[in-house]
Amino acid sequence: MEEKEISQAVIRRMPRYYRYLGDLLDEGVERISSNDLSSRMNVTASQIRQDLNNFGGFGQQGYGYNVKFLYEEIGKILGLNTTHNVIVIGAGHLGQALANYVKFEKLGFVITALFDVDEKLIGQSVRGIPILALAELPGYVKSHRVDIATLTMPKSEAASIANELVDLGVHAIWNFAHVDLELVDRDTVIENVHLADSLMQLSYNTVKHTKEKGAAEEPQSGR
Amino acid sequence: MEEKEISQAVIRRMPRYYRYLGDLLDEGVERISSNDLSSRMNVTASQIRQDLNNFGGFGQQGYGYNVKFLYEEIGKILGLNTTHNVIVIGAGHLGQALANYVKFEKLGFVITALFDVDEKLIGQSVRGIPILALAELPGYVKSHRVDIATLTMPKSEAASIANELVDLGVHAIWNFAHVDLELVDRDTVIENVHLADSLMQLSYNTVKHTKEKGAAEEPQSGR
C-alpha cells in the first residue's frame, strides 16, 4: 500500500484523539459526528476530517464515526496493538515515577527494568521491576527484547548512553535529560520531553497574561 | 510599547534557544553568528532571525549575537528574571520527582509545598518541602503567594481541583493529569504535559521507521 508522508503535527494530534475516543468509550458512546467530536475537543470539524483522512478517513458521510472502531484504528496507527518493552536508564525519582505509572502498561508500554549506577538503588525494585547496575545494560539488551529506552539520567551522560544504546541496537529513545538528542543516529527515533521548557512556556504565557490584564485594568490616560 | 501577538509556535521554541545559549555561556562562548547557532541547533539561520525579530532582534548585522545578552533577554521574555512560587497537588511519585528536580529552582520556579489526601504522606517532606493535607489548600493559597499550581493527581479529580484553584485566584496551571484542562477559565493559563501522548508519538515513529526499514531491506520482487 502506498503511504504518504504524514506530518509530525498530525501525529502529535493523534494521541489526543485516542484519549478523547477512549473517554467516549468509557461513557458508552457508540457513534459521534465530527461536529460533536469537534466541539468536545475544541478543534474544527474540518481539522478532524483532514487529520483522519491522512489515514483513509474512517467516517461514513452522514453517519459520523463509530467510536470503538475509530479508537481501535487510531490505536493501531499509534502502534498500540502490540506490546513495547521499555527500559529506564536512571532510577532516581523521575525514573521511579515512570515505572510506577500503570497507565503506560495499559497502553502496551511495559517497563521491564531500570538501570542506575547508585549502589543504594541497585538490587531494589519498583512495583516488581528490578533496578539493575548500569554495567549490566549491554548484557541485558543482548538477552532481552528492548523496544524503547527511557533516559532520565543527568544531561552530562545522556549523549554517551544514547550512543551506547544505539550501538546495542535500541533505536527508540524517550529522552527526559535536559538536552536535545536529535542527532545521535539516522536510524534512531528520539522523543525529547523537556519539562523545564514546558514550565518556561507556562511562565511566558502567565507573564504575558498578567501584563495584558494589567493593561486592560489600567485607567485610560489621555495618551 | 506596542506588542504584537506572538504565535505559540515561536514561544515553544524560545526555551530551546535559552537552553542552547546557556550551554554556550557554560562553554565560555561570548559571541555567535546566526549561522553557527543555526548549525548547532539544527534550524535555519533565517528561522532564528525571524524568531528573534518577534522580540526586536538582538543581533547586530555582521557581528552576530552577544550570547550573554541574548540569554538574559530571552530569560526576561520567558519570565525567568523573577521567582515563581509553585505548589504541587498530588505528592505521589511524579509530584515528588518534580519537587526533587533542582533544575526548576535554578530557573526561578520554587516549589513551596506539596498537597495530598494520603495520610501516610501528609506531614512528610521532600527536600525540605512540606507535604500538606489537601484540605489545607484554601488556607495556604490565601496566606502565601502561589504563582503556579502543578497537578499530578488522578484525572478524575483534576478538573475539580483546577476549578477550585481558579476560584482561589491561582491562574497558571501545569497539568500532568491525563486530561486536557483547556476550558476551565478564560483568565487561566494552562500547560498540559501528556507523558502518555509523547510515548505514543514515539511509538508511532518507531513502528513507521521499522516498516520503512523493513520495506527498504526487502528483496526487490518483480511487482
Give the model confidence (pLDDT) of B8-46 as tens digits. Answer: 888 888 999 999 999 999 999 999 988 899 999 888 988
Distance (Å, whole) CA A37 – CA A44: 9
Q: What's the CATH number of domain B8-77, 3.40.50.300, 3.40.50.10320, 1.10.10.10, 1.20.58.2240?
A: 1.10.10.10
According to the model, what pLDDT value does residue A185 have? Answer: 62
- From chain B, the residues in CB contact with A146 under 8 A are none
Contacts of B40 (CB under 8 A, 6+ apart): B20
pTM summary value: 0.86
- From chain A, the residues in CB contact with B180 under 8 A are 16, 19, 42
- From chain A, the residues in CB contact with B206 under 8 A are 79, 84, 147-148, 171-172, 189
Give the model confidence (pLDDT) of B87-115 as tens digits. Answer: 999 999 899 999 998 889 999 999 999 99
pLDDT band at B187 (very low <50, low <70, confident <90, very high): confident
Give the model confidence (pLDDT) of B49-63 as tens digits. Answer: 888 888 776 766 667
Domain B84-197 has CATH 3.20.20.80: no
Q: Give one DSSP letter per residue of A115-140, joined into a string.
A: EES-TTTTT-EETTEEEEEGGGHHHH
According to the model, what pLDDT value does residue A2 have? Answer: 45
Return the domain boundaries, chain B.
8-77, 84-197
From A115's Cα to the closest Cα of chain B, the distance in A is: 17
According to the model, what pLDDT value does residue B203 have? Answer: 92
According to the model, what pLDDT value does residue A222 have? Answer: 43
Contact: B15, A42; criterion CB under 8 Å: no
pLDDT, average across residues B135-162? 94
Nearest CA in chain A to B211: A3
Nearest CA in chain A to B95: A97
Q: Mutate which of A39, A202, A211 to test chain B, going by most B C-beta atoms within 10 A?
A: A202
List b or e across A30-47, with b for residues whose CB sees 16 or more CB atoms inside 10 angstroms: eebebeebbeebeeeeee
- From chain A, the residues in CB contact with B194 under 8 A are 15-16, 19
Mean pLDDT for all residues in chain B: 87
According to the model, what pLDDT value does residue B143 have? Answer: 97
Q: Are A133 and A117 in contact (CB under 8 A)?
A: yes
Of A15, A97, A204, the CB nearest to B194: A15
- From chain A, the residues in CB contact with B104 under 8 A are 196, 199
Opening angle at CA A213, ends A208 and A215, nearest 5: 95
According to the model, what pLDDT value does residue A26 have? Answer: 92
Opening angle at CA B8, ends B3 and B11, nearest 5: 75
Of B199, B201, B213, the CB nearest to A104: B199
Of A79, A174, A205, the CB nearest to B204: A79
According to the model, what pLDDT value does residue B181 have? Answer: 80
Locate cell 504584537: which residue? B4
From B199's Cα to the closest Cα of chain A, the distance in A is: 7
pLDDT, average across residues B132-155? 96
- From chain A, the residues in CB contact with B190 under 8 A are 202
From A78's Cα to the closest Cα of chain B, the distance in A is: 4
Q: What strands lie across the sheet with B109-116, from one edge to the other?
A: B125-126, B129-133, B109-116, B84-89, B148-151, B172-175, B189-192
- From chain B, the residues in CB contact with A175 under 8 A are none
According to the model, what pLDDT value does residue A1 have? Answer: 41
Contact: B78, A200; criterion CB under 8 Å: yes
ipTM summary value:
0.85
Give the residues of chain A that fall short of pLDDT 70: 1-4, 57, 59-62, 182-186, 213-223
Contact: A148, B189; criterion CB under 8 Å: no
- From chain A, the residues in CB contact with B93 under 8 A are 93, 96-97, 100-101
pLDDT band at B122 (very low <50, low <70, confident <90, very high): very high
From A205's Cα to the closest Cα of chain B, the distance in A is: 7
Give the model confidence (pLDDT) of A58-106 as tens digits. Answer: 766 667 889 999 999 999 999 999 999 999 999 998 999 999 988 899 9
Of A8, A11, A198, the CB nearest to B193: A198
Of B11, B80, B100, the CB nearest to A93: B100
According to the model, what pLDDT value does residue B8 have? Answer: 80
pLDDT at B191 over 60: yes
Q: What is the DSSP letter of B37?
A: H
pLDDT band at B223 (very low <50, low <70, confident <90, very high): very low
From A97's Cα to the closest Cα of chain B, the distance in A is: 5
